[in-house]
Amino acid sequence: MRQSTVKFIAKTAALSTAIAGVMLLSGCSKKEESVTLNIGFQKYGVLPILKERGTLETVLKQQGVNVKWVEFPAGPQLLEGLNVGSVSFGEAGEAPPIFAQAANSNLVYVANQPEAPKAEALIVRKDSNIQSVQDLKGKRIALNKGSNVHYLLLKVLEANNLKLSDIEVVYLPPSDARAAFERGAVDAWVIWDPFFAAA
């Protein structure tokens, strides 16, 4: 078994244990009561894999807890769902919780995972005349507001002596941003996997 597979299994097991522990501490372990745990997920990270395997449902069912998976387009939307109580647990990148905490959201960190810097990028179409970051000046760039890629764009601009006011930001969730990118309605797209890989 490859070392990366072993690490992934260990992370998944640790996350399952963390979620089960949260449920036990919150008093949801009584077998005579049936409780539903709404878990927010997006198309990124460990939770979609945990959802697909069904192992969390098996473990929590023994504690009288049913699991309901709620999909969100991105971390900021997921954290808003957490803030308003439509989900009790979720996974997001490092930037969305910072924005959420700045807005006085009531959230608690229960686990983290290593960063994945190659899983997000600023991309242009193959036939684009944009060849450098400087060429972005005056261009329309799509991104999900308040996400990791929002922060990535700010850092890329800063590193190249540009300001946010030098470009036109188009705030769109991933599916809408992809459609805009593919039809040429925006000049660039700042996005993460699996949308990045698909593009």
Q: Domain holding 83: CATH number? A: 3.40.190.10
Tell me if 177 is assigned to some domain. Answer: yes
CA 42/CA 81 separation, integer angstroms: 12
* Residue at a domain's end among 44, 75, 103: 103
What CA dihedral angle connects 43, 49, 50 and 51, to 10 degrees? Answer: 60
Residues 6+ positions from 66 with CB-CB distance below 8 Å: 34, 35, 36, 37, 57, 60
6 in any annotated domain:
no
Same domain, 99 and 154: no
Torsion, Cα of 152, 153, 157, 159 (10° steps): 10
Query: Is residue 78 assigned to a domain?
Result: yes
In a domain, 77, yes or no: yes
Looking at the structure of the chain, the number of domains it has is 2
Task: Look at residue 112 and tell me if it is in a domain.
Answer: no
Could you tell me if 28 and 35 are in contact, meaning their C-beta atoms sit under 8 angstroms apart?
Answer: yes
| Chosen domain end from 45, 72, 103 | 103
Query: Using CA atoms, how far apart are residues 199 and 197, in angstroms rounded to an integer?
Result: 5
Q: Note the pLDDT of residue 14.
A: 52
- Which residues lie across from 38 on neighbouring strands? 68
pLDDT above 70 as % of the chain: 83
d(CA 164, CA 77): 22
Q: Which residues of the chain have pLDDT under 50?
A: 1-10, 25, 27, 29-30
**Which residues are CB-contacts of 173 (< 8 A; sequence separation ≥ 6)?**
73, 74, 77, 144
Q: Which domain holds residue 174?
A: 120-198
Report the pLDDT value the prediction gives residue 6, as an integer from 0 to 100. Answer: 39
Choose one of 103, 132, 162: the last residue of a domain.
103
Report the pLDDT value the prediction gives residue 20, as an integer from 0 to 100.
56
Q: Is residue 63 domain-resident?
A: yes
DSSP 138: T
* Same domain flag for 163 and 193: yes
Q: Is 55 helix (H, G, I), strand (E, B) or coil?
A: helix
pLDDT for residue 22:
55
Contact (Cβ atoms closer than 8 angstroms) between residue 25 and residue 18: no
Per-residue model confidence (pLDDT) at position 102:
84
Q: Are residues 126 and 188 in the same domain?
A: yes
Residue 73 lies in a domain: yes
Does 144 lie in the same domain as 194?
A: yes
* Residue type present at position 125: R
Same domain, 91 and 153: no
